[in-house]
């Protein structure tokens, strides 16, 4: 599950945790210049509250969360620009619109997968397969 999706799901959060989650969602790339102390001051909470929230999300602390979240924000900004991969179409879309959106999603997925490939890793995988067969 994406960090963004976890921040959007307030079902298991306290009111303060939901406020922190909304702050992170709204900050986006601006989070890069923020410290937990600065965020705590803006939200009128203790810096340890920010750290505990990041730990509750599964990170060692704020800095680990910040690094992972900024990486995810950058990834999402550069991929899946036109279509939400979780909900690529709606009930109201016509058949051709659904087909077109699915085709675009597949194209974006292939481009995304291609951008993640690494020559050295593929070569290593090829050698391992050759040993097996």
Q: Are residues 88 and 68 in the same domain?
A: no
Within 13 Å and on the Cβ side, how many CA atoms surround 57? 31
Walk along the chain (133 residues) and give the pLDDT tens digit of each residue.
789 999 999 999 999 999 999 999 999 889 999 999 999 999 999 999 999 999 999 999 999 999 999 998 887 766 656 677 778 888 887 888 788 888 888 888 898 888 888 889 999 999 999 998 8
**Overall number of domains in the chain:** 2
Q: Are residues 30 and 15 in the same domain?
A: yes
Please report the pLDDT score of residue 15 as a whole number. Answer: 95
Q: What distances in angstroms separate CA 73 from CA 45, 76, 82, one per listed residue?
A: 25, 5, 15
Q: Are residues 71 and 10 in the same domain?
A: yes
Please report the pLDDT score of residue 105 as a whole number. Answer: 84
Q: What distances in angstroms separate CA 76 from CA 28, 71, 83, 96, 108, one per listed residue?
A: 11, 9, 11, 26, 12
Mark 100-111 as b/e (b = at least 16 C-beta within 10 Å): ebeeebeebeee
Please report the pLDDT score of residue 76 as a whole number. Answer: 73
Domain end position, chosen among 77, 92, 109:
77
Please report the pLDDT score of residue 82 as a whole number. Answer: 67
Q: Are residues 96 and 73 in the same domain?
A: no
Q: How many residues does the chain have?
A: 133
Q: What CATH number is given to the structural domain containing 35?
A: 1.10.10.10
Q: Are residues 47 and 95 in the same domain?
A: no
Please report the pLDDT score of residue 17 as a whole number. Answer: 96
Domain region containing 92: 84-132
| Cα–Cα distance, 108 to 113 (Å, whole number) | 9
Q: What distances in angstroms separate CA 19 from CA 30, 49, 89, 126, one per listed residue?
A: 17, 11, 30, 48
Please report the pLDDT score of residue 123 as a whole number. Answer: 93
């Amino acid at each position: 599950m994406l960090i963004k999706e976890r921040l959007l799901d307030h079902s298991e959060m306290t009111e303060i945790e939901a406020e922190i989650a909304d702050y992170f969602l709204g900050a986006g790339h601006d989070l890069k210049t923020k410290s937990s102390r600065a965020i705590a001051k803006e939200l009128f909470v203790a810096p340890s509250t920010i750290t505990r929230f990041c730990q509750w999300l599964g990170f060692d602390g704020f800095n680990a969360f910040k690094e992972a979240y900024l990486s995810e924000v950058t990834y999402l900004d550069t991929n899946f620009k036109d279509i939400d991969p979780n909900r690529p179409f709606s009930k109201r879309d016509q058949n051709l619109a659904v087909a077109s959106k699915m085709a675009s999603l597949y194209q974006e997925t292939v481009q995304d997968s291609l951008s993640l490939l690494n020559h050295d890793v593929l070569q290593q995988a090829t050698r391992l397969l050759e040993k097996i067969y």
